[in-house]
Structure 1
Amino acid sequence: MYNPLPLIQRFFAALALLVLLAGCSTTTPPDSVLAVPAPAQKYAAIVVDARTGKQLFEVSSTAQRYPASLTKMMTLYLLFEALDSGRVSKQTQIPVSDHAASQPPTKLRFRRGESIDVDSAIRAIVVKSANDVAVAVGEYLGGSEDQFAAMMTSRARQLGMTSTIFRNASGLPDGGQMTTARDMAVLGMALRQRFPQQFHYFSESDFMFRGKLVRGHNDMLGRVRGVDGIKTGYIRASGFNIVTSYNADGRNLIVVVMGADSARQRNDHVEALIQRSLSPTMDGAKTRLMFAEQ
């Protein structure tokens, strides 16, 4: 079984140095695009070279934030583990309890006694960010959502996510559910490294369910060449969050932006950070100072 911990440990070592480095592009975004997209109490960001674990950029990356639907990345991590171990197959039917069906949108709106196969459940969580499906998966794997949340937190610790506590499977509001941009970068790297055979799900922007086309929320897909996932999130307390994977021309980045005021603002910011991180002329220290002065 692949162990992502050595690379993640190198990532933590790089974080301790707090260096802002760069990579390779031809254009540098204007400073207006790189302006802090949210109040300081919500905003956080980090860019990591996923091949080396080296930090390329960060602002408030260890500050506590609400994960919102980025939580579902860990729900999927544990579901992928269950697939790898043979505990479930992609055809396994997951029952949707009354508790799961009662979750607020976004959701697929199940009726009492209905179920969903694992393959469709993965797509529903990735593409639609379906809260009812995430809770159903948690109950199926954990026995209850509370027990599943404890499993999520335990796995987070094992991956090196030292500042994350999960309270539910969906990311719906809970004052005790906290994370950091750094921890979300660790999880994003772990998903790619541990489950390369499943990572394609995160690049899907729609899927068919019961004869209907279900469209997704991740507008970064198709917007920037090389972006191949992974997950968006929003609750009022968090602002607009995203973890983005960039994989092109021999470069692999994980970009986390949390706390933007809108999805468009968040996406503009991610694109600017990708360009800045790939630029061979990026002045990391200047970029960090610019953010600090907002």
Structure 2
Amino acid sequence: MKLLRFSTLVVVGLTLALGATARAATIDTAARQALLLDMTTGTVLFEKNADQKMPTSSMSKIMTMYMVFEAIKQGRLSMDDTLPVSQRAWKMQGSKMFTELGNRIKVEDLIRGVIIQSGNDASVVLAEGLSGSEEKFAEDMTARAKALGLANSNFMNATGWPHENHYSTARDLSVLAQRLIEEFPEYYHFYSEKEFTYHGIKQGNRNPLLYRDIGVDGMKTGHTEIAGYGLTASAKRGDRRLVLVVNGLNSMQARADESARLLEWGFREFDAYALYKAGQPVEEAPVWMGRDATVPATVAKDLTVTMSREERKGLKVTAKFDKPVPAPVAKGTQIGRLVIEAPNFSTREIPLIAARDVPQLGIFGRIAAATRYMVSGSVD
């Protein structure tokens, strides 16, 4: 049987950057490493040395908190559990929660001690409580990170304390931040709390963007001499959420100002647009030997696009079917693909699926259709 190729232009006038890197708008940064991600579509709006391994200092504690939240969700730990403070935890230097040697501290307090106060001592208490030792916890962190797809991350401790084999990348941290926000929404509120008092000592959240009215509701700062000043931040405006990772800045002020500038740019220069809803017909696909001549093609999930406000023109979206779809057609079966092309964007292909069932013709109908094809060479 001769097979025909069908391609139908279905949309013009939008620019797509779904799960890709948007390159239309440009900006630079003083940070050594940076990545700005639109979580709505998984689109990278900006990156600089995003896959360069770097010391992550206290931004490593995002992974520590991922492990803690996962343990709570799995029932291996609870907010009301208490964990003992070892001498190792008590003696930790740097930022501290000021735990007391030998005391037992509620997990919920330890979480605030890590997230708000960036407590190295609290991080070690949680690590030892979950894995028996900080060394074992670091091994567990690395293994879990690999399972999450953080291919360029390795953890030697729970705090981000400098170590030549303790590193991550801006891209890995952005993925980790997204996973934590999506998987543990019931615990994410800790990151927006601006202060916490423990042992009579009140400390403010070290995230400087929480104190600016720009939509930031988390996540974690970091600083060591070798790493410079870093920040993983997340901001939400309307239905959009951006995740930003910067590292290698030369001061606290530069970290705050540069992070705010990049987030503002991301919200200003780009937007997310709904293209198709799941189940909405995109195009009619031709059917061979079916009771219906065509079947509506649709997308399996809502299709939202992130695009530069200056690059909304020039998009070409094409529904492609390599051949008539043979009946019977089952709803949900992939029957084609949606090809999205635009200047300065990588071509994307989205599966098109059948929106409904199409039964096969009866025996006499199939004979008639085959006869028409032999006479005319067409499946119509």
TM-score class normalised by the smaller sequence: 0.7 to 0.9
Contact 1:49–1:252 (CA<8 Å) still a contact in 2? yes
Q: Work out which structure has the larger RCO, using CA pairs closer than 8 Å and 6 or more positions apart in sequence.
A: 1
Change (3 A) 1:228 1:21: farther
Q: Does 1:102 align with 2:91?
A: yes
Aligned residues: 256
* 1:259-270 to 2 correspondences below 5 Å: 259-270=248-259
Choose from 7, 29, 32 the match for 1:36.
29
- 1:217 matched to 2:220: no
Q: Which one-letter code corresponds to 1:46 in the other structure? A: L
Unmatched segments (≥5 aa) in structure 2: 1-17, 270-307, 312-380
The letter for the 2-side match of 1:20 is R
2:192–2:218 CA contact under 8 A, matched in 1:
yes
- The answer to whether the 8 A contact 2:97-2:118 is kept is no
Alignment map for 1:85-124 (pairs within 5 Å): 85-124=74-113
Of 188, 204, 207 in structure 1, the residue corresponding to residue 193 of structure 2 is: 204
Separation of aligned partners in 1, 2:92 and 2:73: 28
Tell me which amino acid in the other structure corresponds to 1:170: T
CA contact (8 A) 2:216 2:234 kept: yes
Instruction: Indicate the structure with greater helix content.
Output: 1
1:171 maps to what in 2?
A: 160
- Return the alpha-carbon distance in structure 2 between the equivalents of residues 251 and 150 of structure 1: 35
| CA distance in structure 2 between the aligned counterparts of 1:282 and 1:44, rounded to whole angstroms | 25
d(CA) in 2 for partners of 1:120, 1:221:
20
CA displacement at 1:228 relative to structure 2: 0.4
SS for the counterpart of 1:220 is helix
Summarize deviations over 1:84-128 as a string: whole Å, max 9, x none.
Answer: 111111111111111111111211233321121111001010111
The runs of 4+ residues in structure 1 deviating greater than 4 Å are: 281-284
Shift of 1:74: 0.7
The change in CA–CA distance for 1:208 and 1:283 in structure 2 (over 3 A counts) is: same
Structure 1 letter corresponding to 2:29: V
TM-score (norm 1): 0.82
Which runs of no fewer than 5 residues in structure 1 stay unpaired?
Answer: 1-12, 23-30, 285-294
Cα distance in 2, alignment partners of residues 136 and 20 from structure 1 = 44
Code of the aligned partner of 2:23: L
Which of 131, 152, 155 is residue 120 of structure 2 equivalent to? 131
Identity %: 34
Question: Does 2:59 correspond to 1:70?
Answer: yes
Find the aligned partners of 1:61 and 1:122 in 2 and give their Cα distance.
Answer: 28
How far apart are residue 35 of structure 1 and its match?
5.4
2:223 to 228, 234, 237: 234
TM-score, normalised relative to structure 2: 0.64
The structure in which a higher percent of residues are strand is 2
- The structure-2 alpha-carbon separation of the partners of 1:271 and 1:179, relative to structure 1 and needing over 3 Å to count, comes to same
Q: Which residue of 2 aligns with 1:20?
A: 23
Letter in 1 for 2:118: S
Evaluate the alpha carbon distance shift between residue 96 and residue 55 of structure 1 in structure 2; reply closer, same or farther with a 3 A threshold.
same
Q: Give the match for residue 180 of structure 1.
A: 169
CA 248–18 in structure 1, closer or farther in 2 if over 3 Å, else same: closer
Cα distance in 1 for residues equivalent to 2:145 and 2:97? 27
* 1:106 partner amino acid: S
1:191 Cα deviation after fit: 0.7
In the TM superposition, residue 283 of structure 1 has moved relative to its aligned partner by: 7.3
Cα distance in 2 for partners of 1:81, 1:108 equals 22
